């Protein structure tokens, strides 16, 4: 298995587990993707591989509606990224 397949398998398993355990999966998924976008510096980082694609346009729209990039980070995505980083680092 190559690295891309390994990431895909881990993401697939994580998403299935979250779907089983999270009441509002759509909200959870949106917060997770928005948090990653914020951690990377914005939505453009998520879509940098194919910025003009229809998929990129949908992700841009999705993240804009979630509030990614709004001054002051009202969604708390930066704070959530810091908490998740700390949890990951303490588990290592």
Write out pLDDT tens, residues 3-37. 878 999 999 999 999 999 999 999 999 999 999 99
Task: Say if residues 69 and 43 touch (Cβ distance below 8 Å).
Answer: yes
Question: Residue 38 — pLDDT band, cuts 50, 70, 90?
Answer: very high
**Statement: residue 1 has pLDDT above 80:** no
Distance, in Å, from the CA atom of 44 to the CA atom of 84, rounded to the nearest integer, reads: 21
- Please give the pLDDT value at position 5: 84
Domain around 46:
23-91
Domain count, the chain: 1
Residue 14 lies in a domain: no
Q: Which residue has the tokens 């346009």?
A: 57
Residue 5 lies in a domain: no
Which class for 27: exposed (0-12), middle (13-18), buried (19 or more C-beta within 10 A)?
A: exposed
Give, for 59, the enclosing helix (H) or strand (E).
helix 54-66
Task: Say if residues 37 and 45 touch (Cβ distance below 8 Å).
Answer: yes
């Amino acid at each position: 298995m190559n690295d891309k397949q390994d990431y895909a398998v881990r993401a697939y398993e994580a998403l299935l587990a979250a779907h089983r355990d999270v009441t509002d999966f759509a909200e959870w998924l949106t917060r997770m993707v928005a948090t990653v976008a914020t951690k990377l510096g914005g939505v453009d980082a998520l879509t940098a591989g194919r910025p003009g694609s229809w998929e990129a346009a949908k992700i841009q729209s999705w993240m804009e509606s979630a509030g990614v990039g709004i001054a002051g980070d009202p969604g708390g995505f930066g704070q959530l990224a810091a908490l998740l980083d700390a949890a990951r680092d303490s588990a290592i």
